Chains A and B, each alone.
Chain A
Amino acid sequence: MNTIRQIPGKLTALGLATIILILASPFAVKAQTFGDLIISKSWILAPPRAAKVAGGFLVITNNGLQDETLTAVQFDGAKKADIHAMKIEGGVMKMRPLKDGITIPAGNSVKLKPGATHLMLMGLSVPIEDGKSFPLKLTFANVGEITVEFPALSRAKGKLLMKDGN
């Protein structure tokens, strides 16, 4: 009797798990390893129509014994790409280019996420639409230049991706 009662609960759990999988799998890019670096959760917030800028996000893990620095970003579909620090201070949004890049200390992760440091793509020449994916070149001090796929995601999907584990 108990087992029968548990079935609806189990079905719901299974259903939820399936929904989460369906929601998560199409847009999550697999974590990629480049030397001592692991790049995961790369995505671009699909900008509104007419917007000439977009923000890119990712998690960089440095498993090496040396600090690593992301020094530059390049995207063929944008006039310019920078690394920008962003913060909300007393209700005011402030954004500044990080001229020296971002350092990922040895054995640590750095998370570029909405509301914080991000990759800033300016002067977009291609439409960044939800569902499409774009290659960005990232230059690191030690590892050198790597190419990473950045799927464009809606705000809702991006939120889900950032929430999902770490």
Chain B
Amino acid sequence: MRKLRFFLWGAVFFAAIGSLYLYSMTGTNQQPNTLLSGGKLGDEFTLMRHNGQPISDKDLLGKPHAIFFGFTSCPEVCPSTLYEITTWLDELGEDADRIGVYFITVDPERDTQEILAEYMESFDSRIIGITGDKAKVEQTLRSYKVHFERVELDDGDYTMDHTATIYLLNSEGTFVRSIAYGENSQTAVAKLKLMLN
């Protein structure tokens, strides 16, 4: 009996250590966005849609929306994510009309409205590309707590480090959850569907 009690307390001890360990793991590996959970993101802005029309923060509010941040000189993560979003919207069908989907450039210098207009033709027409004056775009990115950083390459060229997570916000602009790069399509579609409820 004593042995059993000893054994059980041992088990409790190891379970506690184990869960502490798991907790610390998730703490370090979580997207920084979990910190944003529940908060309103984004300030007032007026920028430009890829079709040349103006767009403001008011246009995003009023229905749940998904925002992805990237740039057109991005070899893989950005096009892959936009292609994935295209297949998810396809799967959602008409329901996708009830979600706003936006792609805000982190490289407004190179991503002019003309370039963005052509770029967006490769994806679902419901995805709206957003660019504009560099300072204004950067201010908007900061208001969404997006990480973006210009990285110089040796020959005068540059690339951008940037948040590669898709933000899902409710109709009031409150951050609800995110979709990570490479997340499986079923989970991503389920998360989008949750926004429709």
Contact = CB atoms under 8 A, between A and B. Distances in A.
B76 A55 contact: yes
A120 B74 CA distance: 9
21 contacts: A45-B79, A48-B72, A48-B79, A49-B121, A50-B115, A50-B116, A51-B73, A52-B72, A52-B73, A82-B153, A91-B165, A91-B178, A92-B32, A93-B74, A93-B164, A94-B161, A114-B182, A115-B182, A120-B75, A122-B73, A156-B87
B184 to A, nearest CB: 11
Task: Classify the secondary structure of A's interface with B.
Answer: strand
Contacts of A94: 151, 161
Interface size, B (range): 35 or more
Contacts of B151: 94-96
B180 A49 contact: no
Interface residues of A, number: 32
Contact of B76 (A86, A91, A96): A86
Given A52-B73, A95-B159, 5 more contacts: A48-B120, A50-B118, A54-B75, A91-B33, A114-B76
Contacts of A155: 79-80, 83-84
A93 B69 CA distance: 11
Interface of B: 31-33, 72-77, 79-80, 82-84, 87, 115-116, 118-123, 147, 151, 153-155, 157, 159, 161-165, 178, 180-182
Q: Which of A52, A82, A91, A156 has the most chain B CB within a 10 Å cutoff?
A: A91
Nearest to B157: A122
Contacts of A53: 73-75
